Chains A and B, each alone.
Chain A
Amino acid sequence: MKNSIIRVLVAKPGLDGHDRGAKVVARALRDAGMEVIYTGLRQTPEQIVETAIQEDVNVIGLSILSGAHMHLFPKLMKLLKEREAIDIIVMAGGIIPGEDIVELKKIGIKEIFTPGTDTNRIIEFIKENVKVVR
């Protein structure tokens, strides 16, 4: 009896104060049949990576509005590499300018969703990229 379910960590790094966007995404993923680990506000890259490993998630979804992405995301990717966990897919959403998107994709962030993205696109992206054994 096999019963594979995609697991996603929805995390909010940085100091910005609300998580409406992250919660909308979390609910949409749940409704698409995924297990969403939700950790709340103000997560450090260390906390996010450690949580992702303990929870053995397929995907990390980062939500950020504060503008600190060029500082926090490379740090997170470096930690993931150190922990030999680069098989975890990292995606991000939030206010991120075009030139930064190019840079972030170079360091291994697989996809970046700008504000107002249809949640169905995020769901499709995850389903296309996660290879779940059935």
Chain B
Amino acid sequence: MKLSDRIRQGDTRAAAKLITMVENDFQQAQKYLKELQEYCGQATVIGITGPPGSGKSTITDRLAKHIRKIGKKIAIIAIDPSSPFTGGAILGDRIRMQDLSTDKDVFIRSIGTRGQLGGLSRSTQAVVKIMDAMGKEIIFIETVGVGQSEIEVIKVSDIILLLLMPGMGDDIQIIKAGIMEIGDIFVVNKSDREGTDRLIVEIEMMLSLNDVRKRNPAIIKTIGTENIGIEELWQEVERLNVYLQDKGEMQLRRKNRIRKEIHDLFLENWQELFFQFIGEDNIENEVQKILKQDIDPYSAVQKLTEVFKKQIIKGG
């Protein structure tokens, strides 16, 4: 049977193998992704982000168990940073999801960021498609909420939950830039801890100051370890989902995502083409010239780009 057919029938091993191919050799994986495309678009994708230790994996586990009771099929993408020096990573989110691993309607995949520029959101999007084509109805993406690349990744989601916890010191400071804006629902986890009320006031203040959105994001209190607030949280996700559909906002988000996907794919193809055409020797040549102060890097790249452009126009 074809790999894509096996995936559509929910074959875990086939799906897992294709995900590996997406990570290791995207050019080759595209062949299979093409076959899956028409079976995608059914799943709802929920992003869960926030600082390390805020309880993302715990909340993902609890939400997953809650949804399993309704009978929906689930997949989880758990992203952790890779070491920029060795490329290695310890992917430990499954520690909080142990009892989910033998539920055959739950598929969990841990992913290292592998330091790919722009590549992570592209491969995450492909992983979402594979899980979608498998018939998973709700797909969670867990990723640490710091840094530009993580924000790019989480934008692959339909709805984004931003987790915060009391006692992060100068709470909001940590996440003020860029990340507050992407949260559709604010989750104050570890609300068994001191400082919860203060944190909520801070979030409310922040939102009233900065936010230009039509709908003010809900703030939901949870205690992940005790399974408190999970039902309320899921109700809010469903409510928001309906709201976004009604307002046409969901459609808009999906459209933006396709646009970004095309952009990412284009960039990768052209990048490869460009460097193949120019060749390492020519680049080394320019480096030497810059070292000797014969040319500046701006003019050097401009020159190489011109050569490339001429070649394209000629139709080579």
| Docked complex: B260-289 residues within 8 A CB-CB of A | 268, 272
Q: Which residues of chain B have C-beta atoms less than 8 A from A130's C-beta?
A: none
Q: Which residues of chain B have C-beta atoms less than 8 A from A29's C-beta?
A: 88
Check A32–B90 contact: CB distance below 8 A: no
Check B101–A1 contact: CB distance below 8 A: no
Check A43–B98 contact: CB distance below 8 A: yes
Asked if A118 lies at the interface with its beta carbon under 8 angstroms from chain B, I say no
A55 to B89, CA, bound (A): 14
Q: Which residues of chain B have C-beta atoms less than 8 A from A4's C-beta?
A: 24-25
Asked if B149 lies at the interface with its beta carbon under 8 angstroms from chain A, I say no
Give 7 closest A-B pairs by Cβ, nearest first: A40-B95, A30-B88, A56-B16, A33-B86, A4-B24, A33-B88, A38-B92
Check A54–B95 contact: CB distance below 8 A: no
Asked if B112 lies at the interface with its beta carbon under 8 angstroms from chain A, I say yes
Q: Which residues of chain A have C-beta atoms less than 8 A from B17's C-beta?
A: 56
Known: A38-B94, A43-B98, A56-B16. 4 other contacts (CB 8 A): A3-B24, A26-B90, A31-B88, A38-B95
Can you identify 14 A-B contacts, CB atoms within 8 angstroms?
A30-B83, A30-B86, A30-B90, A35-B88, A37-B94, A44-B102, A46-B102, A50-B101, A51-B101, A53-B13, A54-B107, A55-B16, A55-B110, A56-B17
Asked if B196 lies at the interface with its beta carbon under 8 angstroms from chain A, I say no
For the complex, would chain B's binding face be called helix, strand, loop or mixed by DSSP majority?
A: mixed
| Docked complex: A35-66 residues within 8 A CB-CB of B | 35-40, 42-44, 46-47, 50-51, 53-56
Chain B min CB distance to A33 (Å): 4
Check A47–B16 contact: CB distance below 8 A: no
| Docked complex: B68-125 residues within 8 A CB-CB of A | 82-83, 86-92, 94-95, 98, 101-102, 107-110, 112, 114, 116
Check A1–B27 contact: CB distance below 8 A: yes
Q: Which of B24, B88, B114 contacts A36 (CB 8 A)?
A: B88
A26 to B90, CA, bound (A): 7
Check B13–A47 contact: CB distance below 8 A: no
Q: Which of A33, A44, A50, A56 contacts B20 (CB 8 A)?
A: A56
Check B91–A37 contact: CB distance below 8 A: yes
Asked if B234 lies at the interface with its beta carbon under 8 angstroms from chain A, I say no
Q: Which residues of chain A have C-beta atoms less than 8 A from B20's C-beta?
A: 7, 56
A37 to B13, CA, bound (A): 17
Q: Which residues of chain B have C-beta atoms less than 8 A from A53's C-beta?
A: 12-13, 16
Chain A min CB distance to B308 (Å): 19
